[in-house]
């Protein structure tokens, strides 16, 4: 078999077209068959290179849940899950899923079928590969690796379905055709968790712990362990334990919902131990570390956090979405003066969540926070995650080259409409996103593109997974302290140590805030506040922005109201789209829809 460098995701669009672009005669159902264009099934699976290409196409949708350009309307990108939560404001106020979840208006008739359709299409593709790979001329050891990768990917797509909908239909290895009657039935939440973790365990015994060299980008044994840890953490969380969701959200259009479909009817604290052990297995492997490399600077605090994301190959990514050279994030997040402005805009609430560089929250009277200089002496991750007024960025010239640096002017002032970056003009909140942008490509030049790939699971998440699970099961032990403090130390906080003698509840608050700022804009916050059951607080908010007014040497900072967010208990889970429940009366709708 040919060895194919898994940075071949630059070819994914090509492969999607000539090989197996999913085609949906039945409006996005997972029963949709694969369109082989001018290639037959036999001609694909008897050729090892085409089989590898088929597998690559299954990887290509792995970033669907956390994509920052996930929601769009009228040819405008409106944002990702960050714009559906308390992280940021959609860049356009069209009736997307992001706006529906933010305002509390989402329902089964308006929600997209994107996660349902995409995940089941790729699950079917995995099953097709498993059913036909016996025809592929490939060394037995290589074939075993392809099969294990495929099983991991199938578990990955089921995990996306699980976090969106709760229990979903498990189709096993079945290959449905258009002649098959549509009669899908939801599996219980517990059955889905067991299926995903069992598939992860099986794949992990075959795959190498890490992938390197030409195989960088393929699923690994470490990715299997990490996905298992994430799924078990979610399964141990309050939303899914002793679930009262059917009672809280009310009946669905299908009638009363069996609690076992949306969680475990009976709570069990031992589930935290399972999650702790799973995260500990990743840590104990010794295969991953927090990044401390930055090729652009070596002295500023928190340089390892900023330096992580432009690196294509690093020690922190456990599973990632491979991309060819790109300026995807710069095109989305940069201010209009730097040829961006299509991504979502961060809220003041997220900015306020970043502590001071001494580790104290800005609400702490001893923190040293100065509201007249709100961005001074803050956690370095703030500047690496948020573009605020006077953030220094590279400047692009007319020929696409970099010509020095200049501040981003977001202030009000008397600009007579000549400042495209200004609040209420370029940004509706007074901020732009800086997370994961490549400093060398910060002006999105035509001469330079970033070699980044996008994190789907990274080691920082695993440390926080471990800390949360261990704190819930054992309390704030030394190991819990060490895991959280490792994140804070890499962030550049000084001192980075947490206060001694924290209670379990206090440690929980620190962990939740660390997840909020460390993992911002990576698709976690939307699901975290739901599984913690704090969404009624975090999502029922009057979102805020920041106006900066410069009048000569006088600078004033004033918050203002952005979108009013509303949360209903039904929105703990996504509704199944009507296009799917209408095809099968046995697909029970989620509570409250």
Question: How many CB atoms neighbour CB 97 within 10 A?
Answer: 24
- The average pLDDT across 388-410 equals 82
What does the pLDDT read at residue 182? 60
- The average pLDDT across 220-225 equals 98
Per the CB < 8 A criterion, the answer to whether 357 and 405 are in contact is no
Per-residue pLDDT reduced to its tens digit, 296-334: 877 899 999 999 999 999 999 999 999 999 888 988 999
What does the pLDDT read at residue 4? 35
User: Which pTM does this prediction carry?
Assistant: 0.93
CA distances from 587 to 97, 416, 590 (A): 21, 56, 9
Axis-axis angle for helices 221-236, 189-204 (nearest 10): 160
Position 104 pLDDT exceeds 70: yes
Range in 30-34, 263-267, 514-518 the model is least confident about: 30-34
Place of tokens 């997220």: 350
Task: Indicate the Cα dihedral angle 429, 432, 435, 437, nearest 10°.
Answer: 170
CA distances from 156 to 130, 391, 401, 575 (A): 16, 38, 40, 20
Q: ∠ CA(394), CA(398), CA(402), 5° rounding? A: 25
What does the pLDDT read at residue 178? 57
Per-residue pLDDT reduced to its tens digit, 69-85: 999 888 788 899 999 99
Place of tokens 């995940």: 119
% of residues, the chain, pLDDT over 90: 77
- The average pLDDT across 195-199 equals 98
Position 337 pLDDT exceeds 70: yes
What does the pLDDT read at residue 1? 34
Q: Is the peptide bond before 495 cis (omega within 30 degrees of 0)?
A: yes
3-state class (DSSP) for residue 320: strand
What does the pLDDT read at residue 69? 92
Per the CB < 8 A criterion, the answer to whether 75 and 91 are in contact is no
CATH architecture of the domain 8-65+107-288+573-581 equals: Alpha Horseshoe (1.25)
What does the pLDDT read at residue 343? 87
Highest mean predicted confidence (pLDDT) among 2-16, 145-159, 414-428? 145-159
Phi, psi for 365 (deg, rounded to 5): -55, -25
Position 406 pLDDT exceeds 50: yes
What does the pLDDT read at residue 5? 36
Q: Which residue has the higher pLDDT, 518 or 331?
A: 518
- Residue 590: in which H helix or E strand, if any? none
Per the CB < 8 A criterion, the answer to whether 391 and 434 are in contact is yes
Q: Which residues sit opposite 22 in a β-bridge?
A: 34
Position 263 pLDDT exceeds 80: yes
Give me the residue spans of the domains in the chain. 8-65+107-288+573-581, 321-456
Q: Could you give the CA distance from residue 317 to residue 298 in angstroms, rounded to a whole number? A: 21
Per the CB < 8 A criterion, the answer to whether 565 and 556 are in contact is no
Cβ neighbours for 496, distance < 8 A, ≥ 6 positions apart: 359, 485, 488, 489
Position 389 pLDDT exceeds 70: yes
């Amino acid at each position: 078999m040919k060895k194919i460098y898994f940075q071949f995701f630059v070819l994914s669009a090509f492969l999607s077209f000539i090989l197996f672009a999913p085609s949906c005669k039945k409006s996005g159902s997972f029963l949709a068959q694969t369109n082989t264009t001018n290639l037959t099934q036999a001609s694909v699976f008897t050729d090892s290179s085409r089989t590898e290409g088929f597998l690559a196409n299954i990887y290509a949708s792995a970033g669907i849940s956390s994509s920052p350009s996930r929601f769009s309307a009228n040819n405008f990108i409106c944002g990702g899950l960050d714009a559906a939560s308390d992280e940021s404001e959609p860049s356009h106020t069209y009736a997307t899923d992001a706006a529906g979840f933010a305002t509390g208006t989402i329902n089964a008739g308006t929600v997209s079928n994107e996660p349902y359709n995409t995940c089941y299409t790729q699950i079917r593709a995995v099953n097709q590969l498993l059913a036909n790979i016996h025809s592929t001329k490939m060394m037995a050891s290589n074939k075993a690796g392809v099969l294990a990768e495929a099983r991991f990917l199938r578990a990955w797509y089921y995990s996306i379905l699980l976090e969106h909908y709760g229990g979903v239909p498990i189709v096993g290895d079945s290959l449905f055709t258009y002649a098959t009657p549509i009669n899908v039935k939801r599996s219980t939440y517990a059955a889905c968790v067991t299926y995903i973790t069992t598939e992860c365990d099986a794949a992990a015994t075959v795959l190498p712990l890490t992938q390197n060299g030409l195989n960088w980008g393929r699923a690994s044994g470490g990715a299997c362990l990490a996905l298992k840890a994430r799924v078990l953490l979610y399964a141990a969380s309050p939303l899914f334990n002793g679930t009262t969701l059917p009672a809280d959200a009310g009946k669905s259009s299908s009638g009363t919902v069996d609690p076992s479909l949306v969680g475990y009817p009976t709570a069990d604290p031992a589930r935290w131990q399972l999650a702790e052990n799973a995260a500990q297995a990743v840590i104990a492997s010794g295969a991953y570390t927090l990044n401390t490399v930055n090729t652009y600077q070596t002295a500023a605090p928190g340089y390892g956090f900023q330096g992580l994301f432009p690196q294509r190959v690093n020690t922190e990514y456990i599973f990632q979405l491979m991309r060819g050279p790109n300026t995807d994030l710069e095109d989305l997040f940069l201010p209009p003066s730097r040829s961006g402005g299509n991504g979502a805009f961060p809220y003041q609430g997220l900015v306020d969540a970043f502590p001071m560089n001494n580790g104290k929250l800005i609400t702490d009277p001893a923190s040293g926070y100065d509201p007249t200089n709100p961005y001074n002496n803050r956690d370095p991750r703030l500047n690496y995650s948020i573009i605020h007024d006077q953030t220094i960025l590279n400047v692009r010239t007319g020929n696409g080259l970099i010509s020095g640096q200049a501040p981003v002017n977001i202030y009000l002032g008397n600009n007579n409409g000549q400042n495209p970056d200004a609040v209420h003009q370029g940004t509706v909140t007074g901020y732009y996103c800086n997370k994961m942008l490549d400093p060398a490509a910060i002006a999105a030049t035509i001469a330079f593109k970033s070699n980044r790939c996008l994190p789907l699971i990274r080691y920082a998440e695993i440390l926080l997974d471990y800390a949360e699970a261990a704190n819930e099961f054992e309390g704030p032990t030394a190991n819990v302290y060490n895991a959280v403090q490792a994140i804070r130390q890499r962030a550049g906080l000084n001192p980075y140590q947490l206060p001694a003698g924290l209670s379990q509840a206090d440690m929980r608050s620190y962990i939740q805030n660390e997840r909020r700022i460390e993992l911002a804009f990576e698709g976690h916050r939307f699901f975290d506040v739901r599984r913690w059951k704090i969404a009624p607080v975090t999502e029922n908010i009057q979102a805020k922005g920041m106006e900066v007014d410069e009048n000569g040497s006088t600078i004033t900072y004033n918050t203002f109201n952005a979108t009013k967010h509303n949360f209903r208990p039904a929105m703990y889970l996504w509704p199944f789209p009507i296009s799917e429940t209408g095809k099968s009366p046995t697909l029970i709708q989620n509570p409250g829809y």
